[in-house]
């Protein structure tokens, strides 16, 4: 970089020397030929003035904001509260569509949220507890009980007091069983006695029946006709009949006594006593031996099952919480659908178009809303003027429909790519008009055409010299010849703004200085006054405005 700078410095010095040398040679040559021709140096005085660099383009008024308003869902338009040209403010209701279906869906979604909340959100229930809370608490209780039972088995130690009590219980059970056995033995004897008595009465009845049959045998009826035997037969028949009757009665009594004895005998007391005895023996054996490995394994399985049940209840609570969130999202969506049946103004503006009438099915953009409070200009410039526009540049605007009025504004946007307008590539930009430049309630309707002048640069009370006075030493480096006591003196100058006629000088000269702009050749013999103005050389590029090249004029002089 240092080498390059050194080279440019050398080139600049050589150029300066060449210009000075050339000028001296030219002056000497002209002096030698003074008898034939007279050469005059054309000059201009450095003065103070204003300079403006600008580009002109065409513009059209567009809204600051414009949006097509549509319902979030299609439906029959039931209300239309505005018309074209109406002014609206943010939040104003503009139109409605039928909301019956949306309201039904909203009510359903609200019920689903309530049900989902009762499942997992205790604050949503009147009892202050949710179904998930109950499930988890029950599962925790079951786990605690199972764990306690397992701990008791694993940490078992013999309890002497319990063993003593169980031993006493066993002794009592043995005594009760012995007593029951004795009672059962006595009852069995009584049954045997009654059974024997019953058998005896049965035999006596059989014997009485046999005697009765013999006495009443029809073959003996002849004895009744014999006075010697008739009395004896009648007496025998009466006696056997009486004996048979008594034998039958005795059998009935014996049967009743036997049945009563059998029914009064209770063997269940002995069985119950035996069962109690076995139970007491088992309890004592368990108290003495402690839990088995199978019992401990079973208790461990019970604990694991209870743990899984608790985790399942907790997972259900998480799942139900997600279900509640889903239900809430569905509720929000349903509420949005209901809200979407009402069209409201998103910002202050004016209705510029309405596309549907009441009773029609509104399935697209219902109306257009535009914000015209701070209008914008859509400006197009020729692509050759690209260097004349930038963000923040000031503009002056005149409208064909508003004669003798000049508006001001600021460039707020420049498209990053060129656009095509009428087959020509142009620069598109947006200009924000200053409210102070036009009186309210004056409005600028969208589509109003304008002529726009973009101010690329402007300087007031600046030192100005004609562009012909500039001598470009190197790229962006300029000098002028200042007349000092009739002799031109080369001075380096700093150039600011520049148009086709004048350049702003930031440093190097002062107001009133006389600078050369070329030479005028005059024939001394004829003195016709014909001049030949020579334009300055612009080698290496055109003059610049703050580093932006500006095309210089083709030639001419003062």
What does the pLDDT look like over 441-480, one tens digit per residue?
Answer: 557 888 889 999 898 888 889 999 999 999 988 888 999 9
The verdict on domain 2-51+461-549 having CATH code 2.40.420.20 is yes
Say if residues 94 and 81 touch (Cβ distance below 8 Å): yes
> Which pLDDT score is estimated for 292?
86
Percent of all residues in the chain with a pLDDT value above 70, rounded to a whole number: 83
Position 140 scores a pLDDT of 96
The CA distance from 425 to 34, in Å, is 56
In words, the CATH class of domain 66-98+341-368 is mainly beta
Residue 31: predicted pLDDT:
44
Exposed (0-12), middle (13-18) or buried (19+): which is 341, by Cβ within 10 Å? buried
Q: What does DSSP assign to residue 536?
A: P
CA distance 87 to 164: 101
Residue in 499, 498, 537, 546 with CA at minimum distance from that of residue 517 = 537
Distance CA 149, CA 515 (A): 116
Question: By the 8 A CB rule, do 456 and 54 touch?
Answer: yes
What's residue 8's pLDDT? Answer: 39
> Are 74 and 361 within 8 A, CB to CB?
yes
Claim: this prediction has a pTM higher than 0.75: no
**278, 281, 274: which is closest to 166 by C-alpha?**
281
Q: Is the pLDDT of residue 257 over 90?
A: no
d(CA 179, CA 175): 6
Specify the higher pLDDT residue, 375 or 95. Answer: 95
Task: Give 264's pLDDT tier (boundaries 50, 70, 90).
Answer: low
DSSP 74: -
pLDDT above 80: residue 427:
yes
Measure the CA angle with vertex 226, ends 221 and 228; round to 5°: 120
91 vs 159, residue with greater confidence:
91
Give one DSSP letter per residue of 342-380, joined into a string.
Answer: EEE-SSSEEEEEE---TTSEE-SEEEEEEE-SS-EEEEE
The DSSP 8-state label assigned to residue 553 in this structure reads P
Q: Which residue has the tokens 């103005």?
A: 533
Confidence check: pLDDT of 226 > 90: no
Which residue spans of the chain are classified as CATH 2.40.420.20? 2-51+461-549
pLDDT score recorded for residue 317: 93
Span(s) in the chain for CATH 2.40.30.170: 56-65+369-458
Task: Give the C-alpha separation, 280 to 204, whole Å.
Answer: 52
Across residues 3-19, what is the average pLDDT?
42
Give the CATH architecture of domain 56-65+369-458.
Beta Barrel (2.40)
Looking up tokens 């909340």 gives: 117
Residue 39, pLDDT score: 60
Q: At a CB cut-off of 8 Å and minimum separation 6, what does 92 contact? A: 81, 82, 344, 345
- Which residues of the chain form CATH 1.20.120? 160-288
Cα–Cα distance measured from residue 366 to residue 436, given in angstroms and rounded to the nearest whole number: 35
The CATH class that applies to domain 160-288 reads: mainly alpha
Residue ranges of the chain that CATH labels 2.40.50.100: 66-98+341-368
- First-to-last alpha carbon distance for the chain, in angstroms, is 41
pLDDT of residue 522: 41
């Amino acid at each position: 970089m240092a080498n390059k700078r050194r080279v440019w410095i050398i080139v600049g010095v050589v150029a300066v020397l060449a210009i000075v040398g050339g000028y001296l040679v030219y002056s000497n040559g002209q002096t030698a030929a003074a008898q034939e021709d007279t050469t005059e140096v054309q000059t201009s005085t450095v003065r103070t003035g204003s300079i403006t660099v600008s580009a002109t383009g065409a513009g059209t008024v567009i809204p600051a904001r414009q949006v097509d308003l549509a319902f979030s869902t299609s439906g029959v338009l039931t209300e239309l509260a505005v018309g074209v040209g109406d002014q609206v403010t943010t939040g104003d209701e503009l139109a409605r569509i039928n909301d019956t279906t949306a309201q039904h869906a909203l009510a359903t979604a609200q019920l689903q949220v309530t049900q989902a909340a009762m499942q997992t959100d205790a604050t949503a229930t009147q009892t202050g507890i949710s179904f998930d809370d109950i499930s988890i608490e029950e599962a925790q209780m079951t786990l605690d009980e199972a764990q306690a039972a397992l701990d008791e088995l694993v940490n078992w130690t013999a309890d002497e007091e319990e063993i003593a009590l169980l031993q006493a219980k066993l002794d009592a059970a043995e005594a009760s069983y012995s007593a029951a056995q004795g009672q059962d033995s006595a009852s069995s004897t009584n049954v045997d006695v009654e059974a024997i008595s019953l058998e005896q009465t049965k035999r006596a009845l059989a014997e009485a029946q046999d005697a009765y049959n013999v006495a009443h045998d029809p073959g003996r009826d002849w004895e009744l006709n014999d006075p010697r035997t008739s009395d004896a037969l009648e007496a025998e028949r009466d006696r056997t009949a009486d004996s048979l009757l008594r034998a039958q009665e005795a059998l009935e009594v014996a049967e009743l006594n036997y049945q009563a004895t059998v029914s009064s005998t209770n063997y269940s007391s002995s069985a119950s006593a035996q069962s109690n005895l076995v139970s007491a023996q088992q309890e004592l054996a368990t108290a003495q031996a402690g839990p088995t490995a199978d019992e401990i394994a079973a208790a461990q399985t019970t604990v694991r099952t209870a743990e899984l049940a608790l985790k399942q209840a907790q997972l259900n609570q998480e799942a139900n919480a997600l279900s509640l969130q889903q239900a809430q999202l569905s509720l929000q969506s349903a509420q949005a659908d209901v809200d979407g049946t009402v069209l409201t103004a998103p910002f202050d503006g004016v209705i510029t178009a309405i596309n549907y009438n009441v009773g029609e099915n509104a399935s697209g953009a219902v109306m257009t809303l535009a914000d015209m409070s701070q209008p914008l200009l859509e400006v197009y410039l020729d692509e050759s003027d690209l260097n004349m526009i930038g963000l923040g540049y000031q503009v002056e605007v005149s409208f064909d429909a508003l004669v003798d009025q000049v508006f001001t504004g600021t460039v707020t946007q420049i498209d990053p790519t060129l656009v095509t307008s009428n087959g020509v590539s142009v620069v598109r930009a947006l200009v924000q008009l200053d409210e102070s430049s036009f009186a309210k309630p004056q409005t600028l309707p969208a589509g109003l055409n304008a002529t726009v002048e973009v101010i690329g640069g402007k300087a007031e009370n600046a030192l100005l010299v004609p562009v012909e006075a500039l001598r470009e030493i190197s790229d962006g480096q300029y000098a002028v010849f200042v007349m000092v006591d009739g002799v031109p003196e080369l001075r380096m100058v700093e150039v600011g703004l520049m148009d086709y006629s004048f350049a702003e000088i930031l440093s190097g000269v002062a107001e009133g200085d006389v600078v050369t702009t070329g030479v005028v050749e005059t024939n001394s013999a004829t003195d016709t006054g014909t001049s030949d103005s020579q334009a300055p050389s612009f080698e290496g590029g055109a003059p610049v405005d703050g580093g932006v090249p500006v095309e210089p004029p083709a030639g001419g002089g003062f």
